[in-house]
Structure 1
Amino acid sequence: MSLIARSWQGTLALLLCLAALASLPLLAPEAPSPFGAGSLAVIFILVAGGALLSFTGLQAPILAAALFFSAHFATWLLIGGLSGNEGHATLAFFLLVAASWLLAWRSVAVLSAIRARSKMADTCLRLLIPAIFGAWILILWEAVTRGADIPFILLPPPSAIGARIAGSLAILWADVRQTIFKAVLIGYVVGCVSGFAVAILADRFAFLRRGLIPIGNMVSALPIIGVAPIMVMWFGFDWQSKAAVVIVMTFFPMLVNTVAGLAMAGAMERDLMRSYASDYWQTLVKLRLPAAMPFVFNALKINSTLALIGAIVAEFFGTPIVGMGFRISTEIGRMNVDMVWAEIAVAALVGSVFYGVVALAERATTFWHPSNRGG
């Protein structure tokens, strides 16, 4: 019982390994090139050895590295054996993939328990753990789609999507330049800056605050598929109409969050500023704006995703023959689903980088906030 408590992932991986051994072969008998005896033995040794290692008292970094190697090398051999054998995977194949995934899970659990002694080591762990999680989403996706021979039109494997990205860099770059560097960035900057400026005015004048906030809540609930075609009719088919959609989507979140943040300064702090004979603008700059920064950056992070979604959806309603939304709507009509997934992958990558830049700026600006003091 103590061994199971020490590593339930290892216990389950060992049981799956034994079940796979009883369910051999890994591929159907009619497979063109089944696994050889040597590679089959290596796979079982890696999975079973990793499962047994998880019960030992090795130092955490060594144990995590050993489990990482066992899980990923075994999975690499398994998926590599599918080349030319798509759709011939048996139950034993999927049991070994699941066992390898459990070893990777155990590796991540060990890494998560490590207390880094330096800031660089802590940063590496913060990056490594989600990277392993993300890699295993792709690994399981690849194994299931190729092993079960899922129709390409329903879900292409990540390897096919990666090949499409590598072969369509010029097209993808043109789409990113049209959608991201024109519509998204311009609309994001204009929407956030104007929302912030109007929030300052609404804070200064009560009638604006009482009139705009309810309207902002109402406009925030408008469906983008209703706003986008109107903006296309008003501003034309080029990037200007998409930037207008982004402005509408980002203006009110910034307005509402900034007004709420400006109200967060405590009464004692305001009384102290008044005792120093500070006027409205001095109190705003030195007290209330710093207190509102977490709310402002919260709006910036929300808007970083809203802007990308808004620009891509707006391109469905009319655009020049370039752009991420245009490419998705066009290629799905041609059944080129690998190109659609390539655009989705690029959009996800760009959105993650965009969000990460805003998060880093927040960390550098609001280092004094309790949520950032630990880092």
Structure 2
Amino acid sequence: MMWILLGLLAWIAGSALNVWLARRPRSRATSLAVPVVFGVTIIVVWEAAVRGFGISPVLLPAPSVIAARMASSGSVLWEDFVQTVVKGALTGYVMGCLAAFVTAIVVDRFDFLRRGLLPVGNFVAALPIIGTAPILVMWFGFDWQSKAAVVVIMVFFPMLVNTVEGLRDTSAMQRDLMRTYAAGYWTTLLKLRLPAAMPFIFNGLKIATTLALIGAIVAEFFGSPIRGMGFRISTSVGLLQLDLVWAEIVVAAIAGSAFYGGMALLEKAVTFWHPSQRG
């Protein structure tokens, strides 16, 4: 009963504090404090609910148990992080986004490619990962190379579509103005169209951050060496080591949030002139 009361008090206190913060003048401190307070409130309520209702650790381990597992399994989590995030997700992300950007330039240069390639791209992007991942594992082996290949396929077409649309996001008046200055295709591309496309490009990059991590983890379910987040989650579920499963999930969530947040900060620095970045 004490834990249940603690959870209720934490929820009421956290909600009241967030309401108070929401009424304060908007600043960087208040914008950061609101999600922090909400997250801490959820963790305290989670801990209190598990202990107060006596929920089995197999169904839902308490946050304190997950934290203890993370502390005791730091080397394993780090090895899995390097295998999945650094080698698989990040490598595939860079290769896929770079290939999509170059392809978008070519597609923009030759209109028949846009009309022929993009429908095929939409078709490939709709293919389920559980169908393509086993095939790529057979093609590229069980190590991180096959996971990077899955990530390339997952991030390529969202990045391609956003970049192509961004390159077309200029008005006829702007293009006519460049022609009056005797600017050729490449000068117009570098001076006008690429800067105008940056919000679209970063939108594709941000979408690809989450897709890359999901693709790398899911691909490891279909074959991997004895390390990696997907491998550890699948084997730990079979061994009923749910605290380790949740520890891997927490690491993946932190890595994905940091990846997305870093890309958002880079977008803000590059596209500071865009209306979406003002205020």
TM-score tier after normalising by the smaller chain length? over 0.9
Q: Does 1:186 align with 2:91?
A: yes
Confirm or deny: 8 A CA contact 2:7 2:44 kept in the other structure: no
Distance 2:8 2:78 in 1: 37
Structure-1 residue corresponding to 2:8: 98
Structure-1 residue corresponding to 2:128: 223
Structure-2 residue corresponding to 1:172: 77
Q: Which runs of 4+ in 1 moved over 4 A?
A: none
1:65-104 → structure 2 map (5 Å cutoff): 79=3, 93-94=4-5, 97-104=7-14
Q: 1:286 aligns with which of 176, 191, 199?
A: 191
Q: 1:115 aligns with which of 14, 21, 25?
A: 25
Letter in 1 for 2:128: P
* Aligned-residue offset at 1:365: 0.5
Name the one with the larger helix percent.
2
Q: 2:113 aligns with which of 196, 208, 212?
A: 208
Letter in 1 for 2:253: A
Distance 2:104 2:10 in 1: 53
* Aligned-residue offset at 1:351: 0.4
* Aligned-residue offset at 1:98: 2.2
Q: Which has the larger radius of gyration?
A: 1
| 3-state SS, counterpart of residue 80 of structure 2 | helix
Confirm or deny: 8 A CA contact 2:93 2:209 kept in the other structure: yes
Distance 1:97 1:157 in 2: 13
| Greater relative contact order structure (CA < 8 Å, 6+ sep) | 2
Letter in 2 for 1:104: G
Structure-1 residue corresponding to 2:218: 313
* Aligned-residue offset at 1:104: 1.8
* Aligned-residue offset at 1:146: 0.8
| 3-state SS, counterpart of residue 144 of structure 1 | helix
Distance 1:146 1:370 in 2: 48
* Aligned-residue offset at 1:111: 1.1
* Aligned-residue offset at 1:125: 1.7
Letter in 1 for 2:243: D
Structure-2 residue corresponding to 1:127: 32
Structure-1 residue corresponding to 2:208: 303
Q: 1:244 aligns with which of 145, 149, 153?
A: 149
Q: Does 1:196 align with 2:101?
A: yes
Letter in 1 for 2:77: L
**TM-score (normalizing by structure 1):** 0.73
Letter in 1 for 2:141: G
| 3-state SS, counterpart of residue 321 of structure 1 | coil
Q: Does 1:156 align with 2:61?
A: yes
Any unmatched runs of 5+ in structure 1? 1-26, 28-77, 80-92, 117-121
Distance 2:77 2:128 in 1: 28
Distance 2:248 2:28 in 1: 30
Of 126-135 and 359-368, deviating more is 126-135
Q: Does 1:265 align with 2:181?
A: no
After superposition, the CA RMSD in angstroms is 1.1
Distance 2:172 2:44 in 1: 54
* Aligned-residue offset at 1:99: 4.0
Any unmatched runs of 5+ in structure 2? none
Distance 1:100 1:373 in 2: 35
